[in-house]
Amino acid sequence: MIRLNNIVKEYENGTHALRGVTMKIEDGEFVFLVGPSGSGKSTIIKLLTGEIVANSGRIAVNGFNLMNISDRQVPLLRRSIGVIFQDFRLIEKKTVYENLSFAMRAVGASPRLVRGRIPYVLELVGLSDKTQQFPHELSGGEQQRVAIARALVNNPSTIIADEPTGNLDPSRSLEIMRLLGRINELGTTVVVVTHERDLVNRFQKRVISLENGVVTGDGVSYDAK
Partner 1 sequence: MKHDFSYFIREGVGNLFSHGFMSFATVGITVACLLIMGTFSLVAYNAEMLLRTLESEYEILAFIDDGNSAAQTQAIGRRIAELPNVKSVEFITRAEAMTAFEDRTLDDYLRANISEDMFRDRYAVFVNDLNLVNRTADQVRAIVGEKNVRVDEDIAGGFILVRNVAGVVSFALIIILLVVSVFIISNTIRLTTFDRRDEIAIMKMVGATNGFIRWPFVYEGFLLGLLSAIFAFALQWLIYASVAKGIDAADTLKFLDVVPFGSIWRPVAAIFGGAGMVIGIGGSLTAIHKFLQV
Footprint of partner 1 (CB under 8 A): 49, 51, 72, 75-80, 82-83, 89, 91, 93, 102-103, 105-108, 150, 154
Q: Mapped to the 3 state alphabet, what secondary structure does 114-182 carry?
A: HHHHHHHHHHHCCCHHHCCCCHHHCCHHHHHHHHHHHHHHCCCCEEEEECCCCCCCHHHHHHHHHHHHH
Of 198, 220, 202, 222, nearest to 210 by C-alpha is 222
> Of 149 and 215, which CB lies nearer to partner 1 in the complex structure?
149
CA–CA distance, 172 with 154 (Å, rounded to integer): 25
Least distance to partner 1, CB of residue 154, Å: 6
Least distance to partner 1, CB of residue 101, Å: 11
> Of 54 and 153, which CB lies nearer to partner 1 in the complex structure?
153
> Of 154 and 188, which CB lies nearer to partner 1 in the complex structure?
154
Least distance to partner 1, CB of residue 79, Å: 4
Length of the chain: 225
> Of 121 and 215, which CB lies nearer to partner 1 in the complex structure?
121
Least distance to partner 1, CB of residue 218, Å: 28
